[in-house]
Structure 1
């Protein structure tokens, strides 16, 4: 009787030790290591094209293995820089989405390296009835009048061009169409020369692109001929006999 009791007691102790070991391993696997890092995120909704202030941002703890590249650990590293995109509350601020402000207007900080900003005069038609906003992409059509042949040649001069500002506004907050007088475009130096020449030789017009459409078509052979004057149809009066 005593022998049987000790055998059962030994088995119970072994099972208890095994259960404790399994439970301990399970708890260890559920413990998340403390490897968080400090990252700067937006404290409020931050518009496009403004200089960041301390009240715009905050520092939060972020899991180190999921933090994207180009984050900032302190507010001082982002204050004074210019936003190149719109930020929503708690969105991480990275170096590719803000620009260094080295003086001058905030617009100068939005220009991509080796590019130039040039403003073109527009009206309600050229400006796509006021629906163009900063950050949009446009194609530019150039029309040159041939007065001797009484026709106009229209061609696609440039494609997928970024709009930096509309009038003197670089914010993307506007949603309602408005009549504008000028649109500022981001161009390479050679493209800026093309635009200036096209404005001297004729007229230009903007066509608004879908944000997801970045395709560049070969339009070197495509020329559209438009008659300068509309032909007036003469209607002969029909005499009805009585």
Structure 2
């Protein structure tokens, strides 16, 4: 009996020792993992502290097109130097010069905490009108539209459109097709809808005119088209990079009517005759034709 008790005691002590060993090993692994995570966090903080930053002016509130920019609308923030956008303002004297001859105005709508860029604000004293949105060599031209030709009022400044012309042509160009519809300009930029040049319009707005930015040659085509027929606009998708080819549709093409092949005229056989006198009688006789 004592031998059995001693054996049970030895087994119990051995199991307890094994459990203690396993617990100590688990605790040691857990502590090592915590130490590694702590060191990684410290390294990340050290790296973040070492990132080079610069002071950049950002907007304090949402800013809309045409608003006057004042000092209360901006503030300085730390910006990573290696991710600095081009055209930022880093000094107050640059953004609001003391010798400025006027105020700055917003050219593009900005959200709160968005960096102020030179392309988003006017120069001191410069108007925020259409002239500030025209690139070198471009001109502004107004096109009359309605609910149908103006894409149901969903056009916005900054959109691109294709311009189609529908009308009749006279003379040899007319043929037998009646009116034709032709794509005359592609990817033309809208810079204003009615008297609104900002891109922060909400909802559909039925416009009477839209203003586009185009070259003088394009404007000549648009003016001719507007005075000789009807113009319609087709909205181009934001990510659409395709280049539309020459497109023309007349009534025959619209209805799928193919032009009939010309019927070959039947050429009658040429016959030649001569008169032969036989006594008092004259007889007509066929002979081979010669040139």
Match of 1:85 in 2: 108
What does the per-residue CA deviation read over 1:109-159, in whole Å, with 9 as the maximum and x for residues that have no partner? 111222111111111111111111111111100112137746211111111
Compute the TM-score of the two structures, normalised by the length of structure 2.
Answer: 0.60
Verify the 8 A CA contact 2:162 2:183 in the aligned structure 1. Answer: yes
d(CA) in 1 for partners of 2:162, 2:116: 30
Greater gyration radius = 2
Q: Which residue pairs with 1:66 in the alignment? A: 83
State whether residues 40 and 60 of structure 1, in contact with CA within 8 Å, keep that contact through their aligned partners in structure 2.
yes
Pair 1:191-2:218 in alignment: yes
Looking at both structures, which has the greater relative contact order when contacts are Cα pairs under 8 Å and sequence separation is at least 6? Answer: 1
1:179-204 Cα offsets, whole Å, 9 max, x none, are 21110111111111111111122121
* Maintained 8 Å contact 2:56/2:89: yes
Structure 2: segments with no counterpart, 5+ residues: 1-38, 97-102, 256-291
Give the deviation of 1:82 after TM superposition.
Answer: 4.7
Q: 1:102, CA displacement in angstroms? A: 6.3
Which residue in the other structure is 1:156 paired with? 183
Q: Is the 8 A contact 2:64 2:200 kept in 1?
A: yes
Pairing 1:136–2:152 present: no
**Secondary structure, aligned partner of 1:65:** helix
The Cα offsets for residues 31-73 of structure 1, whole Å up to 9 and x where unpaired, read as: 6247421112121112245553433322222232332232111
Partner of 1:224: 249
- The aligned residue for residue 195 of structure 2 is 168
Distance verdict in 2 for CA 1:190–1:101, change over 3 Å: farther
Any conservation in 2 of the 1:57–1:75 contact (CA below 8 Å)? no
8 A Cα contact 2:122 2:128, kept in partner? no
RMSD after superposition: 2.9
What SS does structure 2 have at the residue aligned with 1:112? Answer: coil
**Secondary structure, in 3 states, of the residue corresponding to 2:131?**
helix
Question: Per-residue CA shift, 1:223-242, capped at 9, x if unaligned?
Answer: 10138xx9xxxxxxxxxxxx
Whole-Å separation in 2 of the counterparts to 1:208 and 1:114: 24
Deviations 1:5-30, CA, capped at 9 Å, x for gaps:
xxxxxxxxxxxxxxxxxx9xx87x92
- Paired with 2:143 and 2:69, the residues of 1 have a C-alpha distance of 29
1:43 aligned residue: 60
| TM-score, normalisation: structure 1 | 0.71
User: Which residue matches 1:122?
Assistant: 145
Shift of 1:104: 5.0
